[in-house]
Homo-oligomer: A and B are copies of this chain.
Amino acid sequence: MTEKDAAFETRLRDTASAVESLLVSLLSDAPLSGEITRPARLMAAMRHGSLNGGKRLRPFLVVETARLLGGSPAAALRVGTALECLHCYSLIHDDLPAMDDDDLRRGQPTVHKAYDEATAILAGDSLLTYAFDIIAAQETDVPDAARAELVLALARAAGAGGMAGGQALDLAAENEAPDEAGIMTLQAMKTGALLRFACEAGAIIAGSPLKDRERLQAFGRTIGLAFQLADDLLDVTSDTATLGKAAGKDAGRGKGTLVALHGVAWAEARLEALTVEALELLSPYGEAADVLREAARFVAGRSR
């Protein structure tokens, strides 16, 4: 492991642990001002669905882009944690019987298995709602305009024109395989939009000029594409290696991926090109962006 790798790993772990601590405190049973009471079982389901030892990649990107541009670390941690609540809501709802119907996540029963379906729906709804609460609260120490802007950018990334719409397209893809453009749109929405928001959020928190905001947004979009490609490659290569199947779960379920369309060699070359593109986007920032460079390599390297 190089020195840069080690620095990256340490920061990733430190941010994950700060996010976990903040989640524990935010998801306590004690109601906040303006709340009436917090039903214990619902809160437990929300904790079950969010305190599950994830890598917290999205909060990490918020924290590191904010650090690069000189934004408040405390505000970035709160916005990152809000984003993680929203990400976890999407996993809870995606796992539901009517959606992907998964019983396990990270080796633990999914929320509807550990509790019940109605509680899982409400826990997801509540985590989604809470994401906007956390950003809009005074404790997120950025100017009022930035808080409103963060809410808006997150809502656009998460809603019908972003992540939720991507999940709708993904469900439709089980019946009718999308073409290449359709796959790109689906992936940009389902997984790309939140990663793009994560990187853009740092620039909003820092109050950076538009050119930085657009550059970080492009960086987020690029690593989002790499993230999905690495995921699709991982699916094929791990299945082939460990299960002896020629194609992975998603392809097997009739969902088109770029790997299925163009093959592994093409995908690996494309992943390399996306990584180079992501690194180039960071060139104006010099050494200060080294941790984000490692993050880009980390995202692309998930298939190795």
Contact = CB atoms under 8 A, between A and B. Distances in A.
A174 to B, nearest CB: 10
A118 interface: yes
Interface string A10-44: 00000000000000000000011111111101110
Residue with the highest number of chain B CB atoms closer than 10 Å, among A32, A98, A145, A168: A168
Contacts of A164: 42, 122, 125-126, 129
A161 B151 CA distance: 20
Given A32-B161, A34-B153, A37-B161, A128 B130 contact: no
A78 B193 CA distance: 25
Interface string A134-168: 01110000011101110111011111111011111
A229 interface: no
A116 interface: yes
Given A148-B148, A161-B31, A122 B39 contact: no
B165 A126 contact: yes
A36 B130 contact: no
Contact of A125 (B32, B93, B117, B171): B93
B155 A144 contact: no
Contacts of A161: 31-32, 34-38
Interface in A149-196: 149, 151-153, 155-162, 164-169, 171-172, 185, 188-189, 193
A13 B251 CA distance: 52
Given A129-B158, A132-B151, A137-B152, 12 more contacts: A35-B161, A36-B166, A36-B189, A39-B172, A42-B164, A98-B121, A99-B118, A118-B171, A129-B159, A133-B152, A135-B151, A136-B152
Interface of A: 31-39, 41-43, 46, 89, 93, 96, 98-99, 116-119, 121-122, 124-126, 128-130, 132-133, 135-137, 143-145, 147-149, 151-153, 155-162, 164-169, 171-172, 185, 188-189, 193
